[in-house]
Structures are given as structure tokens and as C-alpha cells.
Structure 1
Amino acid sequence: MFKLYSLVIFGSIIWAQTAMAEVNLNTLTNDNPTQLKSIAVLQSLKITDSQNQFHAPYVHDLKNKYQVRSLFVESKDLPMVDIQLTFNAGSARDEEIASGLHGLANMAAKLIDEGTEKYTANEIASAFERVGAQFSAQAYRDMFIVKLRVLSDPEKLEPALGMLLEVLNHSNFKKSSINLVLSNTQVGQKQIQESPSRMMGVQFYRALYGKHPYAEPIPGTQRSISKITPEQLKQFSNQFLVAQNMNIAITGQLTPKQAQQLSERIAGNLKQGEKAKALAQPVDKSTFDIRHIKFNSSQAHVMMGQLGTTRFDPDRLALEVANQMFGGSGFNSILMKELRVKRGYTYGAYSSFSFSLAPGTFSLSYSTRQDQLFDSIQVAHQALVNFIKQPIDQKQLEETKAGMLRAFPNNYRSNANINAQLGSIGFYHQPSDYLSNYPKLLEKITVQDVQNAIQKHLHPERLTIIVVNNTLDKPALEALLKQDLNPQNLPSTPSIEQTPKTVIAPVAKEVIDAPASSPDDEPASI
């Protein structure tokens, strides 16, 4: 019996090998998945550039009769619809309701689906769950974003849309719900006090913006949100969560005509209201502003930066390229090479721009050992000074642009990503073909464009520096930074030979400005 079983197995193997040998690669058809459609491609790795090209989706700029900008991308792959309503109603609008009400927009986002006059929070949640819909609301500094994802089948879409409109128009913001958020925020306050990077981020914005609406954390503070009342939340909703203060993004299995009808139903069934007024301009610094936060830790945490520019600035793309070169591209960046690769001062050092309705920020951050604090700050600052003053390297520029172009398709890798981009494009008044034109715009960026942009917008002589550690000699640090601005003192920068070749423990988590989990300032940005 065993011999017979062995012969059967052996015969099966011989038959399989013969069958595989007889497969003719030239006769494989595309409609038979059992014949390994990819084999012909695998025989040759000569994949042309045209095979690797990614094409941005076509964006329809719908003619909404209510004059509410509505962008739509048709996607036939899934029977789903993504809807994003982006209101000019972020935390920057908090004090337009009443002074000191920081965290009002964030509170409204948390409580908007907690009940209306007709429905309880459980009934609202059940209504969305019955049709498999996902609803969410989130406040950022500029934006208040409401999202709905649901099947495109009218039997699912209609009730989900009806409940979305019910929530936006009739949320009652109960006092009991506010008290629950207050209780949860106490936990967040404790977390922020235990996180040097979070404390650093909060202090950075406060130091940089002063009395400007961007200065305070998006969720506010325990003191500020304890003042919020249901009436103030309703006033916020009635003033800012209105049709004329939003744009609409739709992606999914609809026709352009259906998408337009959908956008008009949304715009027509919300309170019309008015656009929010323009934000004030923040006041820039004229010299260094060094702030210290005492914190008992084995490491020192550093953040330095300045006011940047707006989303509408024609230099924005050149500045994004510059940031990738300086500190936004990992080990290939100048900042990482100077601080980690050459000197081992830190595990990671990164820089970033934020572009907003009002001027955003440019910042860099890292952590290091206490005994390396001054040397690391001097090296990072000197790297910025040199980056601005010295000619941009053509080869590095081309490599950076190529990397950005390769990463570009990630911005529309899914319907959710596409819809987020549409919301950002609509909010910042960009042309509907911006996704398609982005590669061309990026390609046009020259060395001179980058050089002009950084010399115009970056000012290493008036940075705000936040240090979180045990002790800090502010006058000595300021004197050190001023030396970097004098070319005669360039040799004072610590040499590579003088520094240890070890790498310290990982840098703390990314800086966020909230006592609890907090959104980034730009939910979708390219």
C-alpha cells in the first residue's frame, strides 16, 4: 500500500513538471487567471517608463447653483461614495464667539453627533450603522471637516445623507456631553505634562503667535473649555457650519450629474449663512526668542522655527522642495546628515513647513543628550544659515524633485485620499486641475527658485527656540547663535572629529499641540 501511494505521488510530480514544461508563454490569454498572466512580464525586467506612469484623477468642478464650490472625482471600482464638507471654521474662529473660548471648534466637532432634538446619540449612531455608513467630524486650525462614507446604493445613501443634514442643522450640544469631554480632557492634561515634545509644541505656537488665533492648542485648555456652554456651541454652528462657509468634495461611483445633484441637495438643505472673515496677520519677531521649559529628563528636547507663509504664496512649492532638501527627507536631508550621520547628536532631526490661511510655520525639532545641547543647537542653526547663504546643489535638487514625484501618487492611492485632496483644493481656492498639473509645476522649480524662496522667507537671525530640559543658560545660547550669523566665526562650529560617533535613544514622538490626541494643521496637503 505504501509503495502504491509513493508511486502515485511520484507520478503526480512528474506530471506537474511535464505540464509546466509544456506551457507556451506566447499563447497565454488575459481571460484565464489560471495561466499566470504575469509570467510574460517576469521573463523580462525591461519595464518602460510609460508602464510606470501614474495619472492623477480627473476632477470635475461642478456648477453648484448655490455657488458652493463642489469638486468631484468619479471612481467606478467600488460602489462607495465619500463626501467631505470642509468649513472655514477651525480653532482660529473660537474667539469670534467669545473671548477666551479656546477649544470651541474642537468641542463642537466632538459633540456634533451626540444628539439632536429628534434623535439621541445612540439613535444617530444606529442610523449610520444600519446602512454601513461612517460619519466623523474633526476640527483643525483652519478647517472644520465633516466626512461621510457610504454605499452608492440610494437605499443606503439617502438615509445616511438625511442623518448627516439632521446632525449639522440640529445638534443640541447637551451640557452632559460637555461635562464628559471635560472629564476626558483632564486625562489629556496629565499626558501633556508628561510629554516634553507636546509641551514644546504648545509653547512654540504660543511664543510664535502671541495673541493671534493660531496661538492656542486646537483642543483648548482645561480652563478654556470649562467655560463653554451649549448656547455658545449652537452659536458657533449657526455662524460657521453653513453652506456659504464650506466647500464640498465627492468621490465615488456616481456620474457627474448625480454628484452635482448631491452637492446641491447638501448645500440647499443647510443654513446658507455667510463666509468667515479673513484672519488677522501675525506679528513676526525681530530677534531671537529663547524659551525654556524645565523638565527632569535624561535628554534635552529642542524646537526652533519662525513664522512661514500662507497656502496662497507663489513660493510655496519651492519652499516645499527646499524643506525636503534641508530636513524633510530622512537620511538624505542636510539636517540629518549634520546632526546624526556626521556627529551622532540625535536619532532623528526633521524640519517642516505648515501653510495656512494666515502665515503658518517653519520649524525643526530633535532631542539630544544634555551635554550635547549647545553644540547640537549650534550645528543645526549653522546648517540653516549655510543652507540659505550657500548655492543650492543642482544634483540634490533634482534628486529631491524626483523623490517628491515618486511619492506624489500616494496622494490619490484611494478614494479617501482623493477626497481629502479635493477638500484641500476647494478650501484653498486652487484650480481643479491642480493634481494633474502638480508634476509639471514641480518640474519647473529651478535652483534659483529655491534660492530666492528661502532667502525671502527664512530668517535664522530671528528664530524662536524652545528647549525642554533641566537648566538652560539663555544668554550663553543667544551669544552662540549670534556667532553663527558672522561668517568669521564659522570655525567655531564643533568639528566632526570632536564629536562622539554614537547615536542616542530615539527622538520623542512627533510634536502635536494638544492635551489629548490632536490633528495636524493640514489634513491633506501637496
Structure 2
Amino acid sequence: MKTSLLIILASSFLTFPVFADIVDQDLPEQDDPSQLKSITQLNGLKNIPAKQTDQAPYVHDLKNAYQVRTLFVESSALPIVDLQLTFNAGSARDESIGKGLFGIANMAANLMTEGTENYSAAQIANTFEQLGAQFSVKAYRDMFVVRLRVMSDPQKIQPAINLMLEVLNHATFTPSSLNLVYSNTQVGQRQLQENPNRLIDIKLYRTLYGTHPYAQPITGTNASIRKITPALLKQFREQLLVAQNMNIAMTGQLTTQQASDLSIKIIQSLPQGRAALPLNQPYSERGFNIQHIQYQSTQAYVTMGHLGISRNDPDQPALELANQMLGGSGFNSLLMKELRVKRGYTYGAYSAFSFTQTNGIFSLNYSTKQDQLMESIQVAHKTLVDFVKQPIDRKQLEETRSGMLRAFPMSFSSNANINAQLGSIGFYGLPADYLSIYPEQLRKLTAQDVQQAIRKHIHPDNLTVIVASEKLDKEKLLQDLKDNLSPIKPVQIDPEAIHPPAPSQDNVAPLNFHTDTHASI
């Protein structure tokens, strides 16, 4: 009997290796079958459907007296709960604590698990491990994100949440921990000088945003992090890591009542505080701004871009579709065809929009050989100019739209993915059924809609161009860019412009829903 049960348990791992991490970490030393509590949990794997649905999950917008937004998706396939607390406390809020304190949000995130008054760093890590829980804290440009994944068993989830709240409320931020971060930052700064893409990224943000809170790197600088003290970190927590500056996302094997009870417990356990004030709009300069970073390499690295739109701009879906056509869809994109397929200037050329609380960034980037630098920039810029002023290619538009629709299931292929989506929906104030609304928005877009969004928000005559290379003739490059420009006339679109495909049962979520990514330094 004992042997057969062990064989069954082993076969469970072989059949479902991806779920091996859900096994109870508290197994007794002896292999008495009556003590193997995880068998009942593993039996739940038998109920996983063979084919995952492509329908958007139903999102509960749970109400509470504290008016803290809480979104919940019930998922009974696995005995797991994913929890995310998203605070409006990213690096954009660094200077709300004190002038020049760039990196304080990132510092708080890094030091959060380094110990409290009751637990050492080792005890925190060991306790989460014994509960089979995964816990992380991360600062981004907009968001300060706390994530917890744990089994739905009350004997696991309740102590895991208690420990999460202990860490959030009572992290001590000791001077010794700060000194360790200082040392690591100095090492990171030396490594930074060997990474041209990160150097360009930092230069781009500083050039485009100037004095705006988005301008500085999330990790701060050597000078700024030296100003950070334990007292300032505690002030950051008391001011920004509060219930009224947070939204909650939960996905997993809970009832709506259980999810509501857990959310209220979390809200009540945090200081109430107040929501952060809206960010100011950044100032956008006109014309070309060419910046050169001296970099010794056989390759030259190029980025060009300008300020874009916020996450809540109504043109966001149209620009996502446009970006996929320009440089977001691999070999089918225009930049890849012009720079790699036709001319062999680069291995890959890409474009992207960042959608944030206030104006994000539109950019395109690639690397090339030093002796092909000037020609490649001219081709990349001319491709952008033509994309703006020439009529939309209807065939490419349809192919791109279809590809985005087909990619929909990846947006919630796991509980963790679903919960990340919920966190963004809550943070940016989107409707709870956004994942169901988005596909219809995408399907209804006409060529004229996309063309108008392109002409309104993409400006090839107002670009910051940053080049990391051995040398750069700025005057010649400026003239090349000006030569590419010609008066942009209104685009004439056929009255019988493409009609969206007939509605189907397929729903879709945005490919770039994670709008707030960790900037580099």
C-alpha cells in the first residue's frame, strides 16, 4: 500500500511538472500515507480542463466601505491564490519625500524583506518557504507592487498574509542593509558603462522628461541614494504605502466572500492615509534633438523617440495596432523589413509605446555596424515618415489585427498573468470588464481610425535621436533627417475603407497590457 501510494504521487509530478511547486512544503519526514496531506490537493489537478478557454475571465469588482478598489477572478483549477497590492508609489513619487531622493521607492522595495522588529531576513524567507509561498516587492516608474502566491488552504494563506502585512508595516530599514545596497549600486554603475542600451535608455528619459518625475532612473544615482536614510524610508512607507493609495487584485481558488474578507483584512491592517496627487504633464519640445554617447564598439546603437500618450488616452488601442505594424510584430513589421530583410543593416529593429499615468514614450531602436550607421538612421527615419504620411496598408492592418486577436489567450494563460492584468486595470482606473471590452475596440477600428491616431500622436519631425557609437557627424545627420521630411498632406482614404471582421466568440486582451515596465540603470 505504501509503495503504490508513492508511485501515484511520483506519477503526479510526471504528468503535471509545471504544477510541482504547489506541493505542500511541510511534508513529515516519515512516508506514512495518512500524513501526506498534499495528496488531496494534487487530486484537484484531475479537474483541470484539457483545453484552456479563450474567453476573458469574469472579473468581480468587490465593494467595501473603505472604497479601496478590489478586483477578483475566481479560478478553481488549482488550489492557489495570487495576490497583488499595487500602490501609486513608484519612482515618480520619489521627490514627494524630499528633493533629489531619486531611488527611494526602489530602495524601499529592495529592503522590505531585510527584517522587521520581530523577524530577521532569514526568518522571513524561511517562513514563506515553509508555507510554500512566494513573496516579492518591486518598484516601477508608476507602481510599487507587492505580490504573494500561496496555497488557498486557510492554514497556509492566513499566516502568509499575516507575514506579508508584518513586512509591509514593520520593515526596519537598518543602516547595515542600506550600506549593502550602496555597495551593490556602485557595482551596478560600473556594469552600466558596458551596456549601451541602458545608457541610451537613461539618456532618453532624462532628455525627454527634463525636470518631470519620470526623468530619473528608477534605481536612482550614486549621489541620490547616499541621501536616503532609514527615517526617510519609513516616511516613504507612512506616506505612500497606505490603503487609500492602493488597489488589490486577487485570483485563485476562493469564493467572492472569502476574497472580500481577505481584502478587508488587508485594508484594515494598513494605515489609511490618502491617495497620491496626480502627476504634472511633461513639456514636449519641438524639432530634432541629437545626442551622442561616445562608445567604443564594432556596433553602433540607435534610439529615436518622443513623448507619447497616457494609459487612459482613447487612442491607445489604435496606437497599439499601429505599433504592431510599424515595429512590434517581428519580421512582419515595416522597420524589420526595411532595415533587416531588404538591406541587412541589423538583426532586429523595433518600436514601442510606453503607456503610463501621464504621457509615456514612443520610440524605435536597433543596432548596426559603425560603417552603416548614417545610412541606417536615414532609412529608419524615412520608414517612420512614410508610415505617418502614406495611407495605411489594409492587408497589413488586417494581418496585424488577426495576429493580435490570436495572441489573446496568452494574456491570461495563468493565474499569475490574470492577476497582473487585474493590477493594471485597477491602477489605471479601467473598467472591470476591460478584458472583454478591448477585443471589440480592436475589431471596430477602421483604417481611418488608425491613420488619424498615427497622424495625431507620431511625429517624425519632432524626435530625440540618441546614438551610442565611436563617432557621429551630428550636422550631416540633422540634414539627412530634414531631407526625409516633406509636407504631410491629409491622407485620402477610400470611403469603402476596411470593415472590421464579423464578431466572433474570440475575445482579446492587449498585447502590451503591462504598461509600466522597470526602467534600466
Instruction: Measure the CA separation in 1 of the matches of 2:405 and 2:231.
Output: 48
Q: Which residue of 2 aligns with 1:139?
A: 139
- Does residue 343 (structure 1) correspond to residue 338 (structure 2)? The answer is no
Question: What is the CA distance between 1:319 and its match in structure 2?
Answer: 0.3
Contact persistence 2:356–2:515 (CA under 8 A) = no
Q: How does 1:98-497 map to 2 (within 5 A)?
A: 98-486=98-486
Instruction: Measure the CA separation in 1 of the matches of 2:224 and 2:449.
Output: 44
Contact persistence 1:94–1:101 (CA under 8 A) = yes
3-state DSSP of counterpart to 2:86: strand
Question: What is the CA distance between 1:444 and its match in structure 2?
Answer: 0.8
1:251-304 superposed Cα distances (whole Å, 9 cap, x missing partner): 000001110111111111100000000111111011101000001111110000
Q: Which residue of 1 aligns with 2:13?
A: none
Distance 1:235 1:52, change over 3 A: closer
- Does residue 521 (structure 1) correspond to residue 516 (structure 2)? The answer is yes
Instruction: Measure the CA separation in 2 of the matches of 1:522 and 1:412.
Output: 18
Instruction: Measure the CA separation in 2 of the matches of 1:401 and 1:487.
Output: 29
Instruction: Measure the CA separation in 1 of the matches of 2:437 and 2:150.
Output: 30
Instruction: Measure the CA separation in 2 of the matches of 1:223 and 1:158.
Output: 41
Contact persistence 1:315–1:453 (CA under 8 A) = yes
Runs of 4 or more consecutive aligned structure 1 residues displaced over 4 Å after TM superposition: none
Question: What is the CA distance between 1:123 and its match in structure 2?
Answer: 1.7
Calculate the aligned-residue CA RMSD, in Å.
Answer: 1.6
3-state DSSP of counterpart to 1:378: helix
Q: How does 1:82-97 map to 2 (within 5 A)?
A: 82-97=82-97
Q: Which residue of 2 aligns with 1:500?
A: none
3-state DSSP of counterpart to 1:107: helix
Q: Which residue of 1 aligns with 2:497?
A: none
Instruction: Measure the CA separation in 2 of the matches of 1:437 and 1:460.
Output: 32
Instruction: Measure the CA separation in 2 of the matches of 1:147 and 1:433.
Output: 22
Instruction: Measure the CA separation in 2 of the matches of 1:153 and 1:66.
Output: 27
Instruction: Measure the CA separation in 1 of the matches of 2:127 and 2:345.
Output: 54
Question: What is the CA distance between 1:53 and its match in structure 2?
Answer: 6.7
Contact persistence 2:64–2:264 (CA under 8 A) = yes
Q: Which residue of 1 aligns with 2:8?
A: none
3-state DSSP of counterpart to 1:462: coil
Contact persistence 2:311–2:515 (CA under 8 A) = no
Instruction: Measure the CA separation in 1 of the matches of 2:77 and 2:369.
Output: 52
Instruction: Measure the CA separation in 1 of the matches of 2:390 and 2:120.
Output: 62
Contact persistence 2:355–2:515 (CA under 8 A) = no
Instruction: Measure the CA separation in 2 of the matches of 1:187 and 1:405.
Output: 43
Instruction: Measure the CA separation in 2 of the matches of 1:441 and 1:215.
Output: 32
Contact persistence 1:388–1:455 (CA under 8 A) = yes
1:140-161 superposed Cα distances (whole Å, 9 cap, x missing partner): 0000000011111111111111
Contact persistence 1:68–1:246 (CA under 8 A) = yes
Q: Which amino acid aligns with 2:101?
A: L
Contact persistence 1:182–1:226 (CA under 8 A) = yes
Question: What is the CA distance between 1:439 and its match in structure 2?
Answer: 1.5
Question: What is the CA distance between 1:380 and its match in structure 2?
Answer: 0.5
Listed as ranges, the gaps of 5+ residues in structure 1 are 1-37, 39-50, 489-518
Q: Which amino acid aligns with 1:457?
A: H
Question: What is the CA distance between 1:522 and its match in structure 2?
Answer: 3.6
Q: Which amino acid aligns with 1:444?
A: K
Instruction: Measure the CA separation in 2 of the matches of 1:520 and 1:201.
Output: 16
Q: Which amino acid aligns with 1:131?
A: L
3-state DSSP of counterpart to 1:461: coil
Question: What is the CA distance between 1:64 and its match in structure 2?
Answer: 2.0
What TM-score, normalized to structure 2? Answer: 0.84
Q: Which residue of 1 aligns with 2:495?
A: none
Instruction: Measure the CA separation in 1 of the matches of 2:224 and 2:248.
Output: 31
Compare CA radii of gyration and give the structure with the larger one: 1
Instruction: Measure the CA separation in 2 of the matches of 1:53 and 1:115.
Output: 42
Contact persistence 1:59–1:433 (CA under 8 A) = yes
1:380-400 superposed Cα distances (whole Å, 9 cap, x missing partner): 101111100000011111111
Q: Which residue of 1 aligns with 2:494?
A: none
Instruction: Measure the CA separation in 2 of the matches of 1:283 and 1:71.
Output: 34
Question: What is the CA distance between 1:52 and its match in structure 2?
Answer: 9.5
Instruction: Measure the CA separation in 1 of the matches of 2:516 and 2:438.
Output: 21
Q: Which residue of 2 aligns with 1:22?
A: none
* Structure 1 range deviating more: 420-429 or 479-488: 479-488
Instruction: Measure the CA separation in 1 of the matches of 2:256 and 2:70.
Output: 11
Instruction: Measure the CA separation in 2 of the matches of 1:460 and 1:52.
Output: 43
Q: Which amino acid aligns with 1:65?
A: A
Contact persistence 1:140–1:520 (CA under 8 A) = no
* Structure 1 range deviating more: 432-441 or 300-309: 432-441
Question: What is the CA distance between 1:74 and its match in structure 2?
Answer: 0.4
Instruction: Measure the CA separation in 2 of the matches of 1:358 and 1:105.
Output: 19
- Does residue 63 (structure 1) correspond to residue 58 (structure 2)? The answer is no
Q: Number of residue pairs matched? A: 445
Instruction: Measure the CA separation in 1 of the matches of 2:437 and 2:53.
Output: 14
3-state DSSP of counterpart to 1:290: strand
Instruction: Measure the CA separation in 2 of the matches of 1:374 and 1:111.
Output: 45
Question: What is the CA distance between 1:54 and its match in structure 2?
Answer: 1.2
Contact persistence 2:85–2:146 (CA under 8 A) = yes
- Paired-residue identity, %: 64
3-state DSSP of counterpart to 1:223: helix
Q: Which amino acid aligns with 1:441?
A: Q
Q: Which amino acid aligns with 1:254?
A: L
Q: Which residue of 1 aligns with 2:9?
A: none
Instruction: Measure the CA separation in 2 of the matches of 1:345 and 1:119.
Output: 55
Contact persistence 1:86–1:144 (CA under 8 A) = yes
Question: What is the CA distance between 1:520 and its match in structure 2?
Answer: 7.9
* Structure 1 range deviating more: 370-379 or 420-429: 370-379
Instruction: Measure the CA separation in 1 of the matches of 2:343 and 2:415.
Output: 43
Instruction: Measure the CA separation in 1 of the matches of 2:414 and 2:53.
Output: 17
Question: What is the CA distance between 1:486 and its match in structure 2?
Answer: 2.5
Question: What is the CA distance between 1:65 and its match in structure 2?
Answer: 2.1
Q: Which residue of 2 aligns with 1:21?
A: none
